[in-house]
Structure formats: C-alpha cells, structure tokens
C-alpha cells in the first residue's frame, strides 16, 4: 500500500490529537505529505516538528471547521505548498450527550456546525481542486453511533447519519471522478469525551473506555487502507470497533 500513498497530499481536520493525529503520523510515515488543521496551534506545531524530524513532510494551519474560510485556507495551503490536494479527511467532530427532551439546543447547534456543516465545508473546499485535477478522495470520519441508536445520542447520531447520507450521495454523483469513503469508528481511546458538559456521563464513558476502547492507530490503519487502494477502487464504508462492543 505504501506505493499508492507515497507522495500523496492529504489534508486532515481535527489533526491535533486522537484519530486525526494518528492518521497524520501514519500517513507521513508512509510517505504522504500531510496538511494538518485544528484549533490548537501548539499541538499542531509539535506534530509537524515530529514528522519533520523523522524525514516526513508536514505543514499546518489553525483551522476551525465551523469557518468555511478556514477550510478554504487549509486546502489552499496544501496547493501552495505541495501543488495539489489528493485526499481531504474530514475528521473533526464533537459530541454533547443528553436526552432529547432536555432540549440542549446549544449543544445540538454545536454538533450540527462541527459534525455536519464542518464536513460540508471540507467538501466545498476540496471539490474545486478535485474537479481541476480530475481526481481526489474525500474521507469522512463518521461513527458507529449512527448505526446503533441509543438514548442520549439521538442528535449526535443524527449528525453522523447526515454525514453518512452525504457521503453516499457525493459518491454516486462523482461518477468515478473522485473517491468517497466513510469510516465509522466505535469506542476509541481519545480525548473526544473530555469536553462533555455532563460530568456524570463523562466519567461513565471514560470508565468504559478503559476496558473497551481501541487505539486510534486502528482507525488510522483503516484510512491508510482506503487511500492505498488503486485509483479505480473506491472503498465505500468501513466500520471498525472493539470486538466486544455491542
């Protein structure tokens, strides 16, 4: 797979930690040129420095996926630095868990803005480049929460299923001009739950993660697999979760 990945220019949102960071490190090791976007500049700088010191190629831009301008700037950075963009990985996401009847409208809007609109903005930024090149690859990081619906995840799952539907629509409309992959992780050991407002829920999930969660490296490997396929093969959907997950 390395021969298919080497030299490709890959933009990644949410790249400062967790799944995004793992993707960046693996792809850079495999010879990709990675363009990292996230809000925490200090972490991005550390990752780029590590990749550079290990003979990889990486640049970063502070990126809030709620800003269409930021996503356009991230793609422009890829083109200005490396001359093209081969893969856009829409990885940034967030969650607020609560019963729908609690009416956490602020939390709902944040999830819609980050999980769904942030993915749309990534697609909007990348597609003009892909059209000009005649090729490209969109990878959307979704979630198993959209496959098995459980209480307190209704709106979060809805945003992820919106991305799932969007991905399939984009794939069909592309008519082979670009590839589209949806990857749905299960429980993964990341900082994803750290910002949950409900401390009780946060503590329960963290305890569950200690015994169940898989490494973000497993998701990075799935991303690498999808990118590494020959250009005429589109890996549409990958579900990757702990073997013991319900």
Residues catalogued as catalytic: 156
Q: How many CB atoms sit inside 10 A of residue 210's CB?
A: 8
Which of 144-152's residues contact partners 24+ apart within 8 Å by CB, and which partners?
A: 144/184, 144/185, 144/186, 144/239, 144/241, 144/245, 146/184, 147/184, 147/239, 148/246, 151/99, 152/97, 152/98, 152/99, 152/201
* Contact between 133 and 126 (Cβ < 8 Å): no
What single DSSP character describes residue 12? E
CB 216 within 8 A of CB 189: yes
Chain centroid to CA 199 = 25
Three-class secondary structure of residue 242 per DSSP: coil
Distances (CA, A) of 236 to 107, 175, 221, 229: 30, 14, 15, 12
* Separation between Cα atoms, residue 205 and residue 15, nearest integer Å: 22
Given a contact cutoff of 8 angstroms between Cβ atoms, the answer to whether 11 and 88 are in contact is yes
Which stretches within 54-134 are classed as H helix? 68-82, 105-111, 118-133
């Amino acid at each position: 797979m390395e021969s298919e990945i080497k030299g490709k220019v890959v933009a990644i949102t949410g790249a400062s930690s967790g799944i995004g960071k793992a993707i960046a490190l693996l792809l850079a090791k495999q010879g990709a040129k990675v363009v990292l976007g996230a809000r925490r500049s200090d972490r991005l700088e550390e990752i780029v420095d590590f990749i550079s010191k290990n003979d990889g190629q990486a640049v970063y831009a502070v990126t809030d996926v709620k800003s269409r301008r930021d996503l356009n700037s991230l793609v422009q950075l890829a083109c200005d630095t490396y001359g093209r963009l081969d893969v856009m990985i829409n990885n940034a996401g967030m969650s607020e868990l609560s019963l729908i009847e609690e009416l956490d409208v602020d939390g709902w809007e944040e999830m819609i803005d980050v999980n769904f609109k942030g993915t749309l903005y990534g697609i909007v930024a990348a597609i003009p480049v892909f059209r000009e090149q005649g090729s490209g690859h969109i990878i959307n990081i979704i979630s198993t929460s959209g496959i098995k619906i459980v209480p307190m995840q209704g709106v979060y799952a809805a945003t992820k299923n919106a991305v799932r539907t969007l991905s399939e629509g984009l794939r069909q409309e592309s008519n082979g001009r670009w590839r589209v992959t949806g990857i749905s992780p299960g429980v993964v050991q990341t900082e994803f739950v750290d910002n949950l407002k409900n401390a009780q829920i946060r503590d329960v999930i963290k305890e569950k993660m200690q015994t169940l969660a898989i490494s973000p490296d497993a998701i990075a490997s799935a991303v690498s697999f999808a990118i590494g396929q020959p250009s005429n093969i589109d890996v549409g959907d990958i579900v990757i979760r702990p073997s013991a997950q319900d």
